[in-house]
Amino acid sequence: MISIQSWIGTILAAVVMTGCSENRQPVAASSGHHVVVMYQADPLADVHVRLYATPDGPVLAEAISAMNGHVHFDRLPSPQPAEYFVSLESISDGGWMLDSKFGKAATSALRLKSLDEKTSQQLTLPRGAVRPFSTHKP
């Protein structure tokens, strides 16, 4: 018979070995449904990307960009719409934020074609889309 102390030790060992994970996205593979988020020719990490069929409809798919800017969508609707409306939100603590107009699909002006597993599309953000955090007023 297993003692309570032995049982607790086994559970603690399992927790330590598996670790705790937060909602972190793995780096996207080179195949699958993915998009690359870019700003001024550099990949942009820690961006929550949401896809919609209409500018004010429900979220159809969402994922977070990895260090290489890749966003891998595990689930997409079937059939997919011909075009997705896109909203973006920064989840970075790196001293920057996205312009608030990108937070809603209706105001972001960002669009993607239907995604397939063989090709990647880029979401290239315009100049001024990323702003540094500032604690003082000019």
The pLDDT of 65-73, averaged and rounded, is 96
**Gap between the Cα atoms of 39 and 80, Å rounded:** 27
Domain ranges of the chain: 27-132
Instruction: Retrieve residue 35's tokens.
Output: 């998009």
Of all residues in the chain, what percent carry a pLDDT higher than 70? 73
User: Would you say residue 29 has pLDDT above 80?
Assistant: no
Quick one: which H or E segment has residue 84?
strand 83-90
CATH architecture of 27-132: Sandwich (2.60)
Task: Tell which residue, 28, 43, 35, has the closest CA to residue 130.
Answer: 43
| Selection from 1-15, 27-41, 48-62 with the highest mean pLDDT | 48-62
Phi, psi torsion values for 18, nearest 5 degrees: -85, -25
Give per-residue pLDDT as tens, 78-136.
Answer: 999 999 999 999 998 778 899 999 999 999 999 999 998 888 899 999 999 998 876 55
Asked whether the beta carbons of 36 and 78 are under 8 A apart, the reply is no
User: How many CB atoms are located within 10 Å of the residue 86 CB?
Assistant: 20
